[in-house]
Amino acid sequence: MTDIYKRTLTGTLLLVLVIGTAVFNSIAFVSLFFFIMLGSLFEFYRISNHFKVHPQTVMGMLLAAFLYIYFFLNAIGFISLRFIWLLLPLMSLVFINELFFHENRPFHNIAFTFLGIYYVALPFALFNYLLFSSSNELVAGFSGEKDIVNFVFQPSNLVYYNYQLLLGIFSLHWISDSGAYIIGVPFGRHKLWKRVSPKKSWEGLFGGAFFALITAFLLARYFPVLNLTEWLIIAFIVIVFGTFGDLIESLLKRIAGMKDSGTILPGHGGFLDRYDSVIFSLPVIYAFLQMIS
């Protein structure tokens, strides 16, 4: 099977899985990205080993799991934000652990352990605040179906689940990537950043941008959780910061001497290859939504 068919088939199956779980049930959707986050973080730590650095993979993944689950519970109103300070004593364990490992570069290991949490885990954890809305709404006019977790955990609170915002952001990334590939492969002549990623071109970037902006108009019509101006701004964030996210992961792999972060997604590589642009743009999108709320 050629790469284009592998890429198309894998992308289609992943698309069906993401949309299917989002529409089916909030717990399924949150759980899916919990495992994608852990898989992406594991790939990052695996890449780090090529720099002769040995981050604390198990401890880093435990901290990432704590962060993701905590943000989920806070987003649905089950736990107070003040408990986030529990992370501080847990983070200190990363430093203490190095006393027992007899590594030659202990502080490099500590640094890469925390870098993985900041670079990979934190953006995925923010997903939860884009999925759930309570009386303190993230986005003005946010509406959605009463979620099952509301009945399980706190039936007295008004917690709503709405996947439109996050699926809209994903759609901008998917279509921008596809547009860049469709335009860039046959027409790409001017390299975007040859030292980091020789296959990416300015033609591909503008092609992806065009399709992303068209998608923003459609999202404003069919996903009215945001208005047209807001969707266009998010599309711009996706184009700019999504591109930088892709380039940064390419730089990481190039320094490590790796083609892909993993092999779990045939034609795409690993989870980090698939979501590198998302995790880099999502904190910027979240900051923007906080500013307009």
Q: What's the pLDDT tens digit per position in 36-66? A: 999 999 999 999 999 889 999 999 999 999 9
Q: What pLDDT score was predicted for residue 138?
A: 41
Beta-carbon neighbour count of residue 239 at 10 Å? 24
CB 10 within 8 A of CB 268: yes
Query: Which element (helix H / strand E) includes 271?
Result: helix 271-292
Q: Which of 123, 108, 64 is nearest to 248 (CA)?
A: 123
Report how far residue 216's alpha carbon sits from residue 95's, in angstroms, rounded to the nearest whole number.
45
Q: What pLDDT score was predicted for residue 139?
A: 39
Report how far residue 93's alpha carbon sits from residue 95's, in angstroms, rounded to the nearest whole number.
5
Share of the chain residues as helix, strand and coil, in percent rounded to the nearest 5: 75, 5, 20
Domain extent, residue 46, equals 3-292
Q: Which two tokens stand for residue 211?
A: 């399709």
Residue 269 per-residue DSSP state: B
Report how far residue 279's alpha carbon sits from residue 145's, in angstroms, rounded to the nearest whole number.
26
Count structural domains, the chain.
1
Long-range contacts of 189-193 (CB under 8 A, 24+ apart): 192/243, 192/247, 193/247
Report how far residue 12's alpha carbon sits from residue 119's, in angstroms, rounded to the nearest whole number.
26
The stretches in the chain having pLDDT less than 70 are 1-5, 133-159, 188, 267
Question: Coil, strand, or helix at residue 25?
Answer: coil
- Per-residue b/e over 223-236, b at no fewer than 16 CB within 10 Å? bebbeeebbbbbbb
Bridge partners of residue 201, in order along the sequence: 191
Give every CB contact of residue 103 below 8 A, 6+ residues apart in sequence.
54, 109
Please write the tens of the pLDDT for every residue from 119-168: 999 999 999 999 886 544 443 334 445 444 444 444 445 567 888 999 99
Give every CB contact of residue 55 below 8 A, 6+ residues apart in sequence.
45, 48, 109, 112, 113, 115, 116
Q: What pLDDT score was predicted for residue 66?
A: 94
Q: What pLDDT score was predicted for residue 153?
A: 45
Q: Look at the alpha carbons of 211, 213, 217, 223 in this order and tell me if their dihedral is positive or negative.
A: positive
Give every CB contact of residue 102 below 8 A, 6+ residues apart in sequence.
none
Q: What pLDDT score was predicted for residue 154?
A: 44
Q: What pLDDT score was predicted for residue 238?
A: 96
Q: Is 88 exposed, middle or buried (0-12, 13-18, 19+ CB in 10 A)?
A: exposed
Report how far residue 18's alpha carbon sits from residue 28's, in angstroms, rounded to the nearest whole number.
9
Residue 43 per-residue DSSP state: H
Q: What pLDDT score was predicted for residue 158?
A: 57
CB 159 within 8 A of CB 147: yes
